[in-house]
Every structure is written in structure tokens, then in C-alpha cells.
Amino acid sequence: MTQETVPALTSAEAPTVRDRAVGLRVSGVDKIYPTRRGEVHALSGIDLDIGRGEFVSLVGRSGCGKTTLLRILSGLLAPTAGTVEAGGRSAWVSGHRNDAVFAEFGLVFQEANLFPWFTVADNIALPLKLRGVGKAQRRARAVELCGTVGLSGFEDSHPRELSGGMRQRAAIARALACDPSVLLMDEPFGALDAMTRDRMNLELQRIHAESGATVVFVTHSITEAVFLADRVVLLTPRPGRIRSITGIDLPRPRSAETEASAEFGGIVRDLRTELDLED
């Protein structure tokens, strides 16, 4: 692997993620999986534009293709048909990923997937190490991100010493290490208890506001989707198609009081009704 040396920038020189955030455009995307019993049509005719710095939640029944779409957006899975663009650049060319595009993406999965033998700081700084960034600069960035995600003081701890929520904070920090213009999240809080999940939603809202990155967030929770998103995209059961896109015109920052409001409750209720129509 060719290592990339990333020079230090002064605060005046360094572009913010908000400045570098890119929009995404998905046009006519299909995904078909070949199996022993025939083809499985996972996605069909997906058209979706996501603005710079926007937070979009994907919801739908299990098997509707939410994770498949996210994997296509993240460069882990090639679409069978259609195109994906990030900042006007093609993400997939003739079935091959454009690595230059995906180098600016950060990914967070349901499991934190931290290396148990690394400290929190070393886990967070791993993407920088792979890019050839020097040790001192990696450490400084890891310490900075620990502060961002509320892990200050735990830089030298190991994953086994952290709670589930703290491990996910570390995973988010790792995804932010290279200042991604796009952050893709696949049910990152699905394995957490309800109280921890609520706290993590508040944290993610703050992190998104500070970073300005474009976020695509997969969840089974309509309440979570509405609380976090600027828009909620509802997918139909297989093959996954976009049934509706709902704008969430609620003031930020959002809080527990937001969830108690009649407007929030009405949006959640309408989306649940739409979801029930798919049964």
C-alpha cells in the first residue's frame, strides 16, 4: 500500500469539513444478488439527491435494502445498474469503485469493531496511521476527537474498559479521524440500551452540527430517524424502492422536549402509518 504523507495545516489554512462536505446523487440504482435459487432483486430504481451537510435517515422493514444502499454508497458493494455521484464525481465506473471518492468517506457500523489490543487513541488514529501521518500528529488528532465525542481522559484505555456506548463513541471518532466529507452509519446504536441510545442521538446531533459532514443514517427506529434527520427516506419491502421522502422541519438543536411535541409525534405517526401500509 502506498503511504500518503499528510502535512500539518494551520487553523487558517485547514478547510473545515463543512466547506468540504459534498452532496450525493443516486440515479436509477438497482441491485440484484445471484443465488442458487435465482436472482434476488434487492433495490430497484433508486433516485435520491442528498445535499451538502444534510442528514438523511433511511428507514423501512427488514430486508428492504437499507443496508444494501448504504454499502453501495460506501464503496463496499457495486450497483447492478445506475450511477452514484459524490460532489459531482462518479463513485463507480464500469463496476469499479473510484477510490479517490471513497477516501473522503467515513463509516460506522452497528458493532464498534475496535482492535482490543489498541488503546482508544490508537484505534481512533488508525486511519491516519494507514495514510502515513506521523505519530505526534496522530496522537493530537485522537485527543482532539476524544474531546469531540466525550471520551476525554480515556485516550489510553482499552476497549474492554469501556461501556457499549463509549465504544461506539470511539468508533464514531475513528470515522471522523480523516475529516470525512460524508459519514455513513448503519444502525450504529441498534445494540445499545434505550437510555444510552438516547444520549448517543444527542451526541450525534452535536457532532453533525460541529463537523458539517453529509450524513446518511440507517435505522429501524422511526423515532430516532425523525429526531436526527433533515429528511427521512422510507423504503418499500424487496425490491427496495423509495416510497416517500419526508422533510423534518423541526428546529435544532433537538431535545427530549422536541420528542414530546405534537408536531414530532405527528410526523412519527404518519411514517408509522405509511410503514404499516407495506404489510
Each residue's pLDDT, cut to its tens digit, for the chain (279 residues) gives 333 333 333 334 444 555 667 899 999 999 998 888 888 899 999 999 999 999 999 999 988 999 999 999 999 999 999 999 999 999 988 888 999 888 889 999 988 999 999 999 999 999 999 999 999 999 999 999 999 898 999 999 999 999 999 999 999 999 999 889 999 999 999 888 888 889 889 999 999 998 899 999 999 999 999 999 999 999 998 899 999 999 999 999 999 899 999 999 999 999 999 988 766
* In a domain? residue 69: no
- Which domain does 50 fall in, by range? 19-54+80-88
Q: What is the pLDDT of residue 16?
A: 55
Q: Give me the pLDDT at residue 12, please.
A: 40
Nearest residue to 59 (alpha-carbon basis) of 265, 192, 240: 240
What pLDDT is stored for residue 2 in this prediction? 34
Q: Which residues of 27-38 are buried (b: 16+ CB within 10 A; e: fewer)?
A: eebbbeeeeeee
Q: Quick check: is 105 in a domain?
A: no
Q: Sheet of 38-50: strands edge to edge?
A: 38-50, 24-35, 81-86, 89-90
Q: Is 153 inside a domain boundary?
A: no
Cα separation values, 255 from 250, 252, 269, Å? 11, 8, 19
User: Is 166 inside any structural domain?
Assistant: no
Domain-embedded: residue 68: no
pTM here is 0.88
Domain count, the chain: 1
Q: What is the pLDDT of residue 39?
A: 87
Kindly report, residue by residue over 205-257, the tens digit of the pLDDT: 999 998 899 999 999 999 999 999 999 999 998 899 999 999 999 999 999 89
- 75, part of any domain: no
Q: Give pLDDT, residue 229.
A: 97
- Is 31 among the domain residues? yes
In a domain, 49, yes or no: yes
Q: What whole-number distance in Å separates Cα of residue 16 and Cα of residue 155?
A: 24
Determine contact, residues 213/51, Cβ cutoff 8 Å: no
